[in-house]
Structure 1
Amino acid sequence: MHRPRRTFRTTHPRTARVRRAVVVGVVACTGVAASWFGAGGSTAEPSGDFYTPPAQFDATPGAIIKSAAMPVLLAPPTAAVRWPVPAQRVMYTSRLQNDAPVAVSGTFIDATRPWQGSGARPTIVIAPGTVGQGTQCAPSLAFSTGIYADLSRLSVSANQEAISAVAWNLLGARVFVTDYIGLGTPGVHTYANRLEEAHAVLDAARAAENLSGSGPQTPLVLWGYSQGGGATAAAAELQPVYAPELNLKGTWSGAPPSDLAAVVRQIDGNLIGAAIGFAINGFLARYPELQQDLDKVINPAGRALLATVKTECVADIIAKQPFTRTSDLTIDHRPLIDHLQELPDAVKVIHDQLIGTLTPSSPVLMTSGINDDTIPYGQVRQLAVDWCDKGATVTFRTNNLPPIAPGTTFANHFGPELIDGFGTNNAISYLVDRLNGKPLQGCTFD
């Protein structure tokens, strides 16, 4: 089943347009991001109480609870880009893991130019990478200007999805970027919870259809890297059961954290080690029985860290708690994952988060850096193998970027994101091929 990867080559004019649009999007967004970071740009809260759900709302998954116009400064004005890009801040209905309805926020960017592929105009749902756990970390808060600052908390959050959003917008696709459950809207963000992330992604697709009036036959692709890769992987395998009406054509799952225990061991002590606290806080919100066991093993420093990171963004933990080691947070100074794997309630939680127990019914591109210092390569490849053994159509591509400053996340984790999304492992071209109806069967490994 694991045949050598097939290489598709074409000189079709449409392919050239796709490549030009990707390049323009990357260059434009990189310029905007640089200008904002260079200027130390920040914004005041632009949305009032938008993120507070009404007491009662439509419980139908994907229902639109409210929306508001929002200009997006994704790229400088050019002949190809309407500027500022018109968008909407959206609140829509999704589901918790116990199937209770919940309000989720996000960003919808409707198409402003003709679709550059073949067939009907598609919807692209983007699942963001790790942004944090505080409500102020919601990607939609940073989307208008590229960066959001909450001076009262000394907290900063950047729009990490600007490049992918503008690239797809330039291709003429509709784009919806979910904030996930508990970011922006009330409650704890359930970081790394596979069911709730999958629900938020699939219901974002439904919300986009409701906003555009395009209907469930709309071609759909899912795009995500890191936390987003885990969310799109979980959504792809859950879609046949949770949202079978969606016309899912393909998924990019870049560096998905499919095996939580392996990921926790990998990031423990690296630059974003404190992100382990995001996951623990999210699990405590859904599995309160875990609290009693956790209290037996963590020390006061551990309790303080969990309380602190619950209100912080990823840039904040890098600045304030870099290279956190969980052995400093436990009573006996053993790594926290060692304890979790000995506690029955914790073992259940970790098992519940495993991606790969279901099977996607549409093609998936999986990418991973061989030297990724944040999301272990081995567990990503294993997910691809597991899906292939179940009969899924998976293309697995390895990023061979050499190790650069291991443990600092930036080069060896974020570097492959740019390369795999827009470079040699071009995820956009792979997904456009799926939207254009190019056949793909079986599994290929590179």
Structure 2
Amino acid sequence: MKLTDHTYEVPQPLPPGGPGTLIAATDHGPDPAFAAARHWTVLYHSVDAHGVDIAVSGTVLLPPGDAPSGGWPVVSWGHGTTGVADKCAPSQTPNLGFDVYAQELRSLLQAGYAVTATDYPGLGTPGMHTYLVGPDEGNAITDIVSAARHLSPDLAPTWFAMGHSQGGQAALFAARAAHRASDLRFAGTVAIAPASHLGTMLPGVIASGQSSELSFALYSLAGLSATDASVDLNQMLGPSAAQTASQVLSKCLKDSYAPLAHVTTRQTLPLKADQLGQVGKKMSAYGDPDRAPISDPVLIIQGAADHDVPPQWTAAVARNLRSLGSPSVTEHSYPGADHDQVLGQSICDVLAFFSAHGGRTPPDTCAPFSVAPG
């Protein structure tokens, strides 16, 4: 797979292929960063929210050694916010976005799971990343599992969706997209601090006065504009704020705060009340993960000290899914854990959930791992 300015080169026109058909793959061999797992970068067919055939990039990791009888079950991982520029695609980084994600995925590999990790549409491939557009993300999480089966005969048909933050939201959408891989057995979802309540994001950021929150708001507007032609980001923001947005959108999350140091939330989001209402409804319609039931088991995980995704929002997601008729929604809250720390604290409960729903028997020595405060 060839990169040009951090963008994977995609054949034009796309070769024929249904969702999950492999387009290209690069075998990197055993990766010491992931417990000597065999590591591929892949390009595969998926479908966006409007039914259009698209190419999506991602990563496939296979545990070292001989596969168990029946093959390795698969965890399809949805990453949290990294940015919307192509250089922010996790497949282009040695830790798949963040060190805590590398720790999490190593734990899964060591427990006997193969891992697929989509970049999501438009992140590493041509076009704007459709940030927080749930159908795009859910389809991509599902379709990479099918793509991985073109690489190795050692994968079991059983698979799980799992993700953190943006990826938690994406994993819940993947649960509804799992029927697309009809030859596989979808066994359940783990959503860790899932993004939700998207209709309140922009008013909340403006009212907070915290310029550091603007990155998420601008990423969300850019993602919405990429899927909804009626949303014109530059026209909505005006020249000055659009220039700030352009700087933020070109940077990955950790570097996106610098352009925001000398602006206010109201300067950067100069939207009137009616605009906020209209955009909020669109964001909610495309991205809230609790607007339809999920028929397979769901485990929702939340840190009680999370300041990025409020615990009360996640509790509301669980309530809403149950009220819609979802038959099996379990919640675990972790006192004192922030947005990232909850990953390390919950890993044994995650492995137990997988085991209870057709996954591998958890290791006897399972122990949480430490994550520095975020």
Q: Normalised by the shorter chain, which TM-score bucket? A: 0.7 to 0.9
Choose 1 or 2 for highest CA Rg: 1
The letter for the 2-side match of 1:255 is A
- Structure 1 residue 317: Cα displacement: 1.1
Q: Does the Cα contact within 8 Å between 1:372 and 1:413 map onto a contact in 2?
A: yes
How has the CA–CA distance of structure 1 residues 290 and 436 changed in structure 2, closer, same or farther, with 3 Å as cutoff? closer
Instruction: Name whichever of 263-272 and 355-364 sits farther off.
Output: 263-272
1:211 counterpart residue number: 151
With over 3 angstroms needed to count, the CA separation of the structure-2 counterparts of 1:198 and 1:122, relative to structure 1, is: same
Aligned Cα RMSD in Å? 2.9
Q: Distance in 1 between matches of 2:321 and 2:157?
A: 25
Change (3 A) 1:437 1:317: closer
Question: What residue number does 2:122 align with?
Answer: 182
Contact kept in structure 2, 1:183 and 1:189, CA below 8 Å: yes
Q: Does 1:229 align with 2:168?
A: yes
Report the CA distance between 1:106 and its aligned residue. Answer: 0.6
Cα shift at 1:245: 4.0
1:428 aligns with 2:351: yes
- Given the superposition, is the C-alpha separation of residues 192 and 48 from structure 1 closer, same or farther in structure 2, using an over 3 Å criterion? closer
* Distance (Å, rounded) in 2 between the aligned partners of 1:227 and 1:318: 19
Change beyond 3 A, Cα 1:286–1:120: same
Number of the residue aligned with 2:370: none
Return closer, same or farther for 1:325/1:394 CA change in 2, 3 Å cut-off: farther
- Could you list the per-position Cα deviations for residues 371-399 of structure 1 after superposition, in whole angstroms to 9, with x for gaps in the alignment? 32111222211121122221320111122
After superposition, the C-alpha distances for 1:68-97 in whole angstroms (9 at most, x for unaligned) are 12253315xxxxx44xx4311100010111
Is the Cα–Cα contact under 8 Å of residues 17 and 45 in structure 2 kept in the other structure? yes
Partner of 1:342: 277
Partner amino acid for 1:221?
F
Structure 1: how far apart are the matches of 2:56 and 2:294? Answer: 24
Residue 211 and residue 263 in structure 1: after superposition, are their counterparts in 2 closer, same or farther (change >3 A)? farther
2:245 corresponds to which residue? 306
Map of 1:130-149 to 2, 5 A cutoff? 130-143=81-94, 146=95
Would the aligned equivalents of 1:263 and 1:375 in 2 still touch at CA under 8 Å? no
- Partner of 1:377 in structure 2? 311
**Is it true that 1:105 corresponds to 2:105 in the alignment?**
no
Structure 1: unaligned runs, 5 residues or longer = 1-45, 76-80, 148-156, 403-411, 439-446
CA shift for structure 1 position 264: 4.5
Q: Is the 8 A contact 1:115 1:173 kept in 2?
A: no
Which amino acid in structure 2 is aligned with residue 237 of structure 1? R
Q: Any unmatched runs of 5+ in structure 2?
A: 362-374
TM-score (norm 1): 0.72
Q: Post-superposition shift, 1:288?
A: 1.9
Answer yes or no: is the 8 Å Cα contact 1:194–1:353 preserved in 2: yes
Write the distance in 2 (CA, Å) between the matches of 1:337 and 1:245.
48
Alignment correspondent of 2:222: 281
Which residue does 1:43 correspond to in 2? none
Matched ranges for 1:252-401 at <5 A: 252-264=190-202, 269=210, 271-291=212-232, 295=235, 298-321=237-260, 325-331=264-270, 336=271, 338-343=273-278, 347-389=281-323, 390-401=325-336
Q: Give the secondary-structure state (helix, strand or coil) at the position aligned to 2:277.
A: coil
Cα-to-partner distance string for 1:304-337 (whole Å, 9 max, x where unaligned): 1222222211111134436975312244xxxx59
- How far is 1:98 from its partner? 0.8
CA distance in 2 between partners of 1:97 and 1:70 (Å): 32
1:346–1:253 Cα change, 3 Å: closer
**Deviations 1:374-432, CA, capped at 9 Å, x for gaps:** 11222211121122221320111122217xxxxxxxxx322223223x26xx3222223
Q: Aligned with 2:357: secondary structure? A: helix
Q: Does 1:123 align with 2:74?
A: yes
CA contact (8 A) 1:273 1:323 kept: no
Aligned residues: 353
Q: CA deviation at 1:370?
A: 3.0
* Whole-Å separation in 1 of the counterparts to 2:334 and 2:261: 26
1:194 counterpart (134, 138, 147): 134
**AA matched with 1:195:** P
- 1:168 matched to 2:73? The reply is no
User: What is the distance in 2 between the residues matched to 1:322 and 1:59?
Assistant: 46
Q: Name the SS for the 1:302 alignment partner.
A: helix
The alpha carbon displacement at 1:110 in A equals 1.8
Indicate if the aligned counterparts of 1:189 and 1:282 stay in contact, CA closer than 8 A: yes
Runs (4 or more) in structure 1 with deviation over 6 Å come to none
1:66 maps to: 24
- d(CA) in 1 for partners of 2:100 and 2:212? 18
Contact 1:65 1:91 in 2 (8 A): yes
